[in-house]
């Protein structure tokens, strides 16, 4: 699309090194980045708290089925929706990475202040999942392909495919077997049992249920595969939602002429 | 004039300070009461017709002071009432635990009828189960400690509680275990946390570097205009593509490498254990020994008295007497029955035992084979302080309780009693 004369002038000004326009433009960048940082922490963190919830809160909820299946699906909403304006309006393939970092920062703040300092849960019980590799792969596929379908298939599924491998190195120590009171459990079970969650009894854990475990014992692989397939669709759907919200446009401000401002031709 | 104004102002300041102090004290009193678990807020029908806890003993006395790492044991019996409320699920899935302010105590072991209760289980109504909960003090403070059974879709049903003061330093708390593979875990609360932090940090650094790669360039105005102009070669350069391709390879290789070293380090792992424990239904040793029939029950509000008219038949070979009436963890003991009085431990929470004796219209023993109609009168302020009087606001205006009978040898027989309860509002 061709730029208007004013836009061309502006582009020329902001690309001139050490110009006032370039400095102001850079200041605006920093200002917007700071606001985005806090806004994404708040939005993405709340979204994950409300949807992934206990699966991400507790080490003894991080199972091979629901945690692995549900988390990537719920992770992809906001990054996919933000990918549209970031990439299609600013050419920035960073929505996934930014969301992942903001989420992890928000999660750690919540775990340290809310879960550990306020309510005494130990860190071994409450660490958040690693989500960055998958969401970053999504960005990278988008960068290289600049194609919605390819990114949906390879980038969307990468969010799920990278989730279990990214987290197994930190989860594995908690899946060592333990015998307690003559019962076989793993360390994560022991932690969940030992550190009292008064209102979250053991039976509330929604883990390892259903028939998935009968598929050759490869629950994690099957969960990941299913999640990856759904993530492909979800990336596409949420990208479209992001596109729709980005291009909603504006409603002409009919009131502003009453406060001394003229009509804006662009708004008509 | 100025002096007068100043002294008046000083007087006002003093008065304001006094008012604030009084308000603060009131507030402190209120917050002091709020330290328990809100057990009084549970509807009376829930507390009277679900679980009846008795013979509850703690290894420390009420208000005792213990140190961090000290162990406390709670034992006793819990009776699952036959007339379980219709509005909540039957206890087909329950979990035995402790009601404490979160993990201020660590749960070491729990048993229901001798069966380990790491997992949840299911129980039968009308039966009595022995429970044992072993806790380890972790966080200093004054904590209210109860046994508790969570019932699926009914929530936590707490037993009687005592106050325990935990002294010492939380940092001194240690809970060590050894895994089946021989790994010695020095402290379960901090186990493998450095590894978690390490991997989070590694990925965060990669993410931050990737963002800085983009943030070092102008972002918003310039890029917006370049997108509009369609100058994608300026927006995403060949260098960006090369870096992106390298990162894809790097991320995948890192994931494979990390999983390989993890597999080497932890070759034996087991998934989370989500099965259900099985507890055999205990035999009801009191079955048929005494027949209790509720004829009427009245709650006399001004006098805080519940009077039950019951028809009692003694089917045993020995004469028996009513020794105790217990409902919602409140115990009304017949002071004229020594065996019943002996059942009240010195350390038992005083607020849960009525001061006055349980009044029985006829204190003579019920002879073998005899049927007697007795008026059983339970009076105490606890009906009010434990908020049991609010049962009149429940959709189910009925009560449930246990009656303890004793024979001359001091042997105890326990039977349920339940029925409608009618309020009397005026003298």
Assign B423 a pLDDT band (cuts: 50, 70, 90): confident
Is the minimum CB–CB distance between B237 and chain A shorter than 8 Å? no
Is the minimum CB–CB distance between B249 and chain A shorter than 8 Å? no
Domain spanning A25-240: which CATH class is it, in words?
mainly alpha
Cβ atoms within 10 Å of B67's Cβ, excluding its own:
13
| Residue length of chain A | 268
d(CA B52, CA B50): 7
B40 pLDDT above the threshold of 70? no
What is the reported pLDDT for B2?
A: 46
What is the reported pLDDT for B31?
A: 53
B32 pLDDT above the threshold of 60? no
What is the reported pLDDT for B39?
A: 65
> Smallest CA–CA separation between A258 and chain B, in Å?
30
Is the minimum CB–CB distance between B257 and chain A shorter than 8 Å? no
Q: For chain B, give the mean pLDDT.
A: 89
d(CA B245, CA B257): 18
- For the question of an ipTM over 0.90, the answer is yes
Per-residue pLDDT of B347-382, as tens digits, reads 788 888 988 889 999 999 999 999 999 999 998 877
d(CA B392, CA B424): 10
Among candidate residues B307, B303, B403, B401, the one with its CA nearest the CA of residue B50: B401
d(CA B315, CA B215): 87
Tokens describing residue A236: 């596409």
d(CA B161, CA B145): 5
B221–A10 CB contact, under 8 Å: yes
B218–A185 CB contact, under 8 Å: no
A131 in Cβ contact with A163 (< 8 Å): yes
What is the reported pLDDT for B155?
A: 86
Is the minimum CB–CB distance between B108 and chain A shorter than 8 Å? yes
Cβ atoms within 10 Å of A60's Cβ, excluding its own:
28
What is the reported pLDDT for B45?
A: 76
d(CA B205, CA B214): 15
CA distances from B165 to A196, B62, B75, B145, B393 (A): 18, 9, 19, 10, 36
Q: What are the helix and strand counts (H, E) for chain B?
A: 8, 21
Is the minimum CB–CB distance between B88 and chain A shorter than 8 Å? no
B203–A89 CB contact, under 8 Å: no
Q: Which residue of A has its CA nearest to B133?
A: A194
What is the reported pLDDT for B275?
A: 86
- Domains, chain B: 39-178 (2.60.120.570), 188-265 (1.10.287.710), 290-424 (2.60.40.1580)
What is the reported pLDDT for B7?
A: 58
B207–A100 CB contact, under 8 Å: yes
Q: Which residues pair with B418 in a beta bridge?
A: B400
Assign B289 a pLDDT band (cuts: 50, 70, 90): very high
Percent of chain A with pLDDT strictly greater than 70: 94
**For the residues A25-30, what does the mean pLDDT come to?**
94
Lowest-confidence segment of A42-46, B18-22, B29-33, B206-210 by average pLDDT: B29-33
A264 pLDDT above the threshold of 90? no
Per-residue pLDDT of B95-128, as tens digits, reads 999 999 999 999 999 999 999 999 999 999 999 9
Assign B27 a pLDDT band (cuts: 50, 70, 90): low
A207–B274 CB contact, under 8 Å: yes
Strands B64-67 and B162-167, bridge-based pairing: parallel
B318 pLDDT above the threshold of 70? yes
B207–A132 CB contact, under 8 Å: yes
Among candidates A61, A101, A169 on the partner chain, residue whose Cβ is nearest the Cβ of B259: A169
Assign B9 a pLDDT band (cuts: 50, 70, 90): low
């Amino acid at each position: 699309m061709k730029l208007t004369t004013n836009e061309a002038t502006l582009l020329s000004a902001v690309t001139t090194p050490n110009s006032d326009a370039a400095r102001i433009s850079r200041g605006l960048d920093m200002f917007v980045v700071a606001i985005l940082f806090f806004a994404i922490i708040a939005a993405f963190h709340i979204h994950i708290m409300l949807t992934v919830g206990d699966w991400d809160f507790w080490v003894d909820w991080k199972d091979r089925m629901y945690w692995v299946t549900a988390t990537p699906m719920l992770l992809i909403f906001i990054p996919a929706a933000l990918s549209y304006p970031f990439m299609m309006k600013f050419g920035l393939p960073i929505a996934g990475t930014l969301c992942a970092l903001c989420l992890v920062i928000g999660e750690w703040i919540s775990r340290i202040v809310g879960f550990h300092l306020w309510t005494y849960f130990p860190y071994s019980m409450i660490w958040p999942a690693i989500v960055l590799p998958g969401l970053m792969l999504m960005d990278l596929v988008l960068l290289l392909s600049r194609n919605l379908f390819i990114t949906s298939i390879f980038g969307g599924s990468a969010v799920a495919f990278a989730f279990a491998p990214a987290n197994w190195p930190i989860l594995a120590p908690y899946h060592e077997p333990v015998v307690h009171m003559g019962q076989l459990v793993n360390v994560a079970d022991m932690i969940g049992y030992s550190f009292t969650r008064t209102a979250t009894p053991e039976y509330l854990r929604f883990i390892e249920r259903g028939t998935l475990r009968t598929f050759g014992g490869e629950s994690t692989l099957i969960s990941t595969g299913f999640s990856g397939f759904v993530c492909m669709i979800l990336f596409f759907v949420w990208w479209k939602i992001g596109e729709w919200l980005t291009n909603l446009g504006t409603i002409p401000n009919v009131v502003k002429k009453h406060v001394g401002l003229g009509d804006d031709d662009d708004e008509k | 004039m100025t002096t007068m104004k100043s002294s008046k102002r000083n007087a006002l300041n003093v008065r304001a300070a006094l008012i604030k102090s009084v308000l603060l004290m009131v507030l402190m009193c209120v917050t002091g009461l709020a330290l328990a678990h809100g057990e009084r807020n549970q509807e009376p029908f829930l507390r009277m017709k679900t679980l009846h806890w008795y013979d509850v003993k703690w290894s420390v006395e009420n208000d005792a002071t213990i140190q961090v790492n000290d162990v406390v044991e709670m034992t006793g019996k819990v009776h699952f009432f036959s007339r379980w409320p219709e509005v909540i699920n039957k206890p087909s899935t329950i979990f035995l635990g402790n009601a404490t302010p979160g993990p201020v105590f660590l749960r070491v072991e729990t048993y229901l009828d001798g069966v380990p209760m790491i997992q949840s289980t299911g129980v039968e109504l009308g039966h009595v189960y022995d429970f044992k909960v072993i806790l380890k003090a972790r966080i200093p403070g004054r904590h209210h400690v109860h046994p508790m059974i969570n019932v699926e879709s009914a929530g936590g049903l707490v037993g009687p509680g005592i106050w325990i003061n935990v002294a010492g330093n939380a940092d001194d708390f240690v809970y060590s275990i050894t895994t089946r593979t021989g790994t010695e875990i020095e402290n379960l609360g901090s186990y493998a946390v450095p590894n978690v932090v390490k991997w989070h940090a590694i990925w965060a650094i990669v993410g931050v570097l990737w963002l800085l790669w983009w943030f070092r360039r102008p972002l918003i105005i310039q890029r917006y205009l370049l997108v509009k102009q369609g100058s994608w070669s300026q927006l995403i350069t060949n260098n960006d593509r090369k870096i992106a391709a390298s990162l894809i390879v790097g991320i995948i290789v890192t994931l494979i490498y990390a999983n390989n070293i993890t597999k080497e380090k932890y070759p034996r792992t087991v998934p989370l254990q989500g099965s259900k424990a099985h507890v055999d239904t205990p035999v009801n040793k009191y079955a048929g020994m005494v027949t209790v029939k509720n004829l009427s029950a009245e709650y006399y509000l001004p006098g805080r008295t519940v009077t039950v008219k019951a028809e009692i038949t003694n089917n045993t070979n020995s004469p028996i007497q009513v020794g105790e009436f217990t409902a919602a963890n409140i115990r009304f003991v017949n002071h004229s029955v020594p065996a019943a009085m002996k059942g009240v431990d010195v350390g038992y929470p005083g607020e849960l035992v009525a001061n006055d004796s349980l009044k029985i219209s006829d204190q003579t023993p019920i002879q073998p084979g005899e049927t007697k109609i007795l008026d059983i009168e339970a009076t105490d302020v606890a009906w009010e302080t434990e908020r049991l009087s609010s049962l009149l606001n429940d959709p189910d205006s009925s009560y449930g309780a246990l009656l303890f009978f004793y024979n001359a040898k001091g042997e105890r027989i326990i039977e349920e009693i339940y029925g409608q309860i009618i309020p009397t509002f005026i003298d």
